[in-house]
Amino acid sequence: MIAHVLAPLSRALAYSRLTDKARVAHRADRAGVLGPDAGIERTLDAAVAWLCHAQDRSRSGDGGVARHFSLTSGWGTSYPETTGYIVPTLLRCAQLRKDELLRARVKRMLDWLVSIQLSCGAFSGGVIGEEPVVPVVFNTGQILLGLAAGVREFGATYREPMRRAASWLVDVQDTDGCWRRHGSPFAMAGEKTYDVHGAWGLLEAARLTAEPRFADAALANMRWALSRQHANGWFEDCCLGDPARPLTHTLGYALRGIVEAHTFSKEQAFLEAATRTADGLLSALRDDGSLPGRLERRWDAAVRWSCLTGTAQVAHCWLSLFTVTGRTAYRDAAFAANRFVRRTVVVDGPPEVRGGVKGSFPIYGDYGAYQYLNWACKFLIDALLCEQDVRRRRHGI
């Protein structure tokens, strides 16, 4: 009862401490009114430009991408984990646009990542300069996605860093496929089913090497994760800090990892598992195209706000599953989810927010409050590029 009485006072105090820009955004989002849909192309242009700006404005000035822009504290320092998987996204954009300047930007990201690789082959958690500097499984797997893309695009320069990162992941894996050692010091301790997204990095390394142990380790982790999946698609231990109410973001990680397992192996068990989770998420989709930021085990909303990162991730997975299954419910849900996220993105205005994607909608939601997150922007780009592909195939373009 005391907490219930004090909660409004706590919120009022927090609001009083906001910057003017944060208060303006707070009031606008609290009204619940979404902006106009600028369309796929214009939103893509703005989002790619925002990631470039985030690289230029990183407070650590090292070639990595700033973790965020905050309406209360400005630009953050570079974030190795997300810079790693931003690499394949921007490389694809550079290829589609034949943009050599963008390609050169990506190479700077890769060179920075190689420069901070630990002697064991792993990468640490958190933003650059954050303590403690210890090897972390999940972050290493995410960065491995970027190193593999670097090998494809630039050749041998990144092959040995890729092999070292992949080898370390194999060496520290438990016999049942789970990674129980070297978790992130910035997340709750314990097993994590969303590690399958990092295991996907091993699949990419396997595609580029003659080392089957990389794929074996990745698929072992993914099979272990399926042992933690409920009949309705729910995953146990699939959150950074609240397993009973996981973020849509971490559920999106888990779903993408299982989708990639099927893409690589063609095993029916992975496709069936992915569709179970995808169907559960379909049941949570709201009329406006948003997904709740946290979900309970029966796919009921645990919060009112939306995690925009997770909404974009799930949209991408739905589109991937549509191309495999032909189920139009996945396609239509993804189009609606992408449209919702696009309507939260401004394509005009100051460069620190133009094309950026908020952690939450409303902006004061509990995921990345008052921040524009680099990985949210990356996942929206991925989802919009996938939507373009689907629409072009449908129209025979």
Burial of 191 (0-12, 13-18, 19+ CB in 10 A): middle
Residue-wise pLDDT tens digits, 128-173: 999 999 999 999 999 999 999 999 999 999 999 999 999 999 999 9
Same structural domain for residues 181 and 224?
A: yes
- The per-residue pLDDT for 65 is 98
Number of domains the chain is built from? 2
In a domain, 53, yes or no: no
Same structural domain for residues 265 and 159?
A: no
CATH code of residue 99 = 1.50.10.10
- The per-residue pLDDT for 397 is 45
Domain boundary among 228, 245, 275: 228
Residues 241-247, mean pLDDT to the nearest whole number: 97
In a domain, 7, yes or no: no
Does 214 have pLDDT greater than 90? Answer: yes
Does 48 have pLDDT greater than 90? Answer: yes
- Give 230's contacts (C-beta < 8 A, 6+ positions apart): 236, 297
Same structural domain for residues 87 and 217?
A: yes
Q: Report the percentage of the chain scoring pLDDT > 70.
A: 96
Same structural domain for residues 276 and 196?
A: no
In a domain, 367, yes or no: yes
**165 close to 122: Cβ distance less than 8 angstroms:** yes
Same structural domain for residues 244 and 360?
A: yes
Residues of the domain holding 171 = 79-228
Same structural domain for residues 208 and 311?
A: no
Q: What does pTM read for this prediction?
A: 0.96
Residue-wise pLDDT tens digits, 265-316: 999 999 999 999 999 999 999 999 999 999 999 999 999 999 999 999 999 9
Residue-wise pLDDT tens digits, 60-118: 999 999 999 999 999 999 999 999 999 999 999 999 999 999 999 999 999 999 999 99
Six-digit token string for 266: 């063609």
Same structural domain for residues 184 and 267?
A: no
The count of other CB atoms within 10 Å of the CB of residue 211 is: 16
Cα–Cα separations (whole angstroms), residue 27 to 7, 262, 362: 19, 44, 9
In a domain, 14, yes or no: no
Cα–Cα separations (whole angstroms), residue 138 to 77, 183, 235, 255, 360: 20, 7, 17, 15, 23
